[in-house]
Structure formats: structure tokens, C-alpha cells
Amino acid sequence: MPADRKITSTPENPQPLRAIAQAVRNWVERLGEVWVEAQVIELNRHRNGTVYLTLRDLTEEVSVQASCPVRTLDIAGPVTANTTVVTRVRPRYWYKNGRLTYELLEIRPSGEGRLLAHLEQLKRLLQAEGLFDPVHKRPLPFLPHCVGLVTGADSAAERDVLENMRRRWPAVEVAVRHTPVQGPQAATAVIGALADLDADPAVDVIIIARGGGSLEDLLPFSDEGLVRAVARARTPVVSAIGHEPDQPILDLVADLRASTPTDAAKRVVPDAATELGHLHTVRGRLDRAMERTVATRADELAALRSRPVLRAPTGTLDLHAERLIALRHRALRAVDNRLRAEENGLRAAREHGRALSPRSTLERGYAILLDADDRPVTSTREVDEGDGLVARLADGSMVVQVVEIDGRQDGFEDGYKEGGFDE
């Protein structure tokens, strides 16, 4: 049925429901795609990859439910509740259930939202280059001698930083550079002041400070040139822009982000009173530790002195001396006993030798007969009558002649035994 044709019906000739649904779909599809400006009231991401939004008119109490793929929302940039957007909408009527929906084909943040989208794209670019990587963050000096301060002239931020730093550490020196902190020239001026302080070798840390303001007021501190200048700086940089909710891109590239200018002063210089209190506390701990150490060593020394070896150092030597004397006596006795035993053995051996000596036998009245060849005569068969023999006695020798030979041995054995020749 054509979309511009009016549907006729009567109680007697009613139209089927599908005809009405089809006609409504045709009427809705004739609208096509429309660019609409509205405010996002509610936004929910579903696990199926679809985002469901509630859009409201900017002046009237008119709102509709809409949806779009997550990709469409991500391309648009940071879109949240209360963001004003310009979106390309296509109404759709579902034939089977009669539900009317609005599909968002393209979303563009409007006004402040457009600025946020631009800043989000710049953040992604700089993050991809590694400018926000924590590995590039430089530590702040514990006690800076000179602090560089870039801020507006006679501003509340300048007063907050100076008063808090000098209250915490009166000896700190501050090199101040006044620049515009909003407007088209602010970013260039801040870059120049930063370069001037970074080139000064006396400056140990640099603070860039500004009070709170709107998104447009803080735009200079999201300038790409300023962000890259801070990344190139050799001196640590502290960002103290606005209040806690404010977060320009400078906060991401700075070595330290302070929530407020006052917080920056507290982060950069220590509190003298607090540090003095810490010093007293540490000194007290050291004193107590030394006292405990000395007391412990004194107890150990007393325990050592109470030991017998230290109470009577020569006691052990005396004991060993007594043992040495006893061993010496035992050794002497053993030597004496051994000598006496050896003397007795030698005496017995000498007596035994004497008893076996031929001279001893001769002294008892016996004689040794030698023939003409000086060989001992041991048998009567070895001589003849008339042979001359030499008789060797105990005190000398004499020549004898054999007159008679008697081969009998009667009575000789008794004399042999009496003469000491027994077995």
C-alpha cells in the first residue's frame, strides 16, 4: 500500500492489523535519515556490543530511546551523560512487534563536547608516541635549592605556591616567570618561560600553576606544543592546573601532577617542622639502639668474665702442669724399670755366656789337647803312642807326649757330669 494513501475502514469492513503496521512502517521510512541536536541523558553499554541512549530535546521535555554500535560511539570521542551531540538519526519501525526505535548512524559532540573530542584525539596521539609513559617520569629532588614557577602575575595560584613553600621551608629560593595563563598567546608564553627556567642550572624543579576555570580557559595547558616542550625538558616539571577534577593534557606528561597549586608547594619542598620531628624521632631511635647494643655487649662481657677460664686464667695451666708432672714421673719410672730389666737380662746373658765359655771349663781343671796341626783331639783313635800333643790350660799351655792309650770310659761319665758338662 502506498505510504501517502489514506487507509479506509468501517466496522463492517475492517483492515487487517498487518496492513496498519505496514502503513506505519512506510510512513516512518519516508522520514529517512535526519541530523538532530540533542542532549545525552542516559548511556548504557550492553555486552552484545550495542549502546543504548536516552536523548532529550535541548528546550522541551521531549526524549526518545536510541541505540548505536559501540564503534560509532568510540569514533565520536568522549560522549557521556549530559553531553550535547549532533547525531544522524534513522527512525525504524519493527513490523512484527510494532516497536519504534531510533538508530544513531553518526555522532558528533557539539560545543564543549567537540573540544573534549579534539582533546581526546590529541591524548591518544601523544600516548601512542609514549609521551605519557611512566618510564620517562623524573623523580623530584628531596630538597630543591631553587624552584622555578610559571604562573600568572598577581594570581591566587602564585600566592598559594609562594606562601606555602616559604612557610614549609623558608630557605627555598623561587625563580618566578609571569605569563598569560589563558587566551591564544598563553601556550606560547608558557613554552618560552619553561625554556628559560629549564636552561638555568640553578633551577632544580619547575612548577606550572594556574587556578581553576572552564574548559576553554584551561585549553592552553592542553596545547600540543606545550606538552612536547614539557616532555623535552631536562628539569622535572610539576603540573598544578586548576582543581582536582580538572585534568589538562599537561598533567599527563608532567613528571608530577598536583591537584592544586597549594598541593604543588607541598609536593616540591618538605616541611621543616615535620622533617625536624622526623630527625628527632630517628635520633631517639638511634640513641635507644646504641644503649641496647652497649647493654647487650656489657652483659656478654660480664658472662665471659664469669667463666672459670677467665676468672682464674692459670687454673687450666696448673691442671695441665700437674698432669705433665705425673706423666713425667710415670715416664721416669718406666725408663728405670726398663733399664733394670735390661741390666738383669744382660747380667743373665753374661753369666750364661760365661758358663758356656771354654775358658770357664778350663778354669775348673780341664784341658784342651791339640795335635801338631792345632786341631782339637776329641778321640783316642786320633793319636798314637809317642805323639806329641799341646795341652791348653786356663793359665797357659804345655807340650805332652802320649805314653799310653786307654780306650775305656769307665768312671768318665761321673767326672763329666761333675765338671759341668751335663746336658
pLDDT(413) > 60: no
Enter the C-alpha cell of residue 183: 587566551
What does the alpha-carbon distance between residue 250 and residue 119 come to, in Å, rounded to a whole number? 11
Nearest to 174 by CA among 182, 188, 190, 163: 163
Q: Which residues contact 376 (CB under 8 A, 6 or more apart)?
A: 368, 369, 370
Strand partners, 150: 177, 208
CATH number for the domain spanning 90: value is 2.40.50.140
Q: Place 109 in a pLDDT band, splitting at 50, 70 and 90.
A: confident
Taking residues 32-58, report their average pLDDT: 89
pLDDT(120) > 80: no
Task: With respect to residue 233, please indicate whether it lies within any of the assigned structural domains.
Answer: yes
User: 3-state DSSP call for residue 251?
Assistant: helix
Angle at 351 between CA 349 and CA 355, to 5 degrees: 115
pLDDT(230) > 80: yes
Enter the C-alpha cell of residue 411: 768312671
Q: Which residues contact 31 (CB under 8 A, 6 or more apart)?
A: 91
pLDDT(213) > 50: yes
Q: What range defines the domain where residue 368 resides?
A: 359-418
Task: With respect to residue 79, please indicate whether it lies within any of the assigned structural domains.
Answer: yes
Q: Which pLDDT score, from 0 to 100, does residue 397 have? A: 85
What value does the CA radius of gyration of the chain take, rounded to a whole number of Å?
65
Taking residues 242-261, report their average pLDDT: 87
> By the 8 A CB rule, do 137 and 255 touch?
yes
Higher pLDDT residue, 244 or 323?
Answer: 323
Angle at 214 between CA 212 and CA 219, to 5 degrees: 95
Domain boundary, last residue among 209, 241, 270: 270
Range picked from 6-10, 123-127, 221-225 for highest mean pLDDT: 221-225
Instruction: Indicate if 87 and 173 belong to the same structural domain.
Output: no
Q: Which pLDDT score, from 0 to 100, does residue 250 have? A: 92
Enter the C-alpha cell of residue 265: 608547594
Instruction: Indicate if 149 and 80 belong to the same structural domain.
Output: no
Instruction: Indicate if 152 and 100 belong to the same structural domain.
Output: no
What does the alpha-carbon distance between residue 397 and residue 404 come to, in Å, rounded to a whole number? 21
Instruction: Indicate if 152 and 259 belong to the same structural domain.
Output: yes
Taking residues 106-131, report their average pLDDT: 76
Q: Place 384 in a pLDDT band, splitting at 50, 70 and 90.
A: confident
% of the chain beyond a pLDDT of 70: 91
Higher pLDDT residue, 398 or 113?
Answer: 398
The per-type count for the chain, helices as H runs and strands as E runs, is 13, 13
Q: Which pLDDT score, from 0 to 100, does residue 194 have? A: 95
pLDDT(97) > 80: yes
User: How many CB atoms are closer than 10 A to CB 372?
Assistant: 9
Strand partners, 101: 92
Q: CA neighbours within 13 Å on the CB side: how many for 48?
A: 5
Enter the C-alpha cell of residue 166: 616559604
Higher pLDDT residue, 215 or 29?
Answer: 29
Task: With respect to residue 403, please indicate whether it lies within any of the assigned structural domains.
Answer: yes
Task: With respect to residue 276, please indicate whether it lies within any of the assigned structural domains.
Answer: no
Task: With respect to residue 423, please indicate whether it lies within any of the assigned structural domains.
Answer: no
Q: Which pLDDT score, from 0 to 100, does residue 133 have? A: 92
pLDDT(95) > 70: yes
Q: How many domains does the chain have?
A: 3
Task: With respect to residue 155, please indicate whether it lies within any of the assigned structural domains.
Answer: yes
Q: Which pLDDT score, from 0 to 100, does residue 112 have? A: 56
Q: Which pLDDT score, from 0 to 100, does residue 420 have? A: 45
Instruction: Indicate if 63 and 183 belong to the same structural domain.
Output: no
Taking residues 275-283, report their average pLDDT: 91
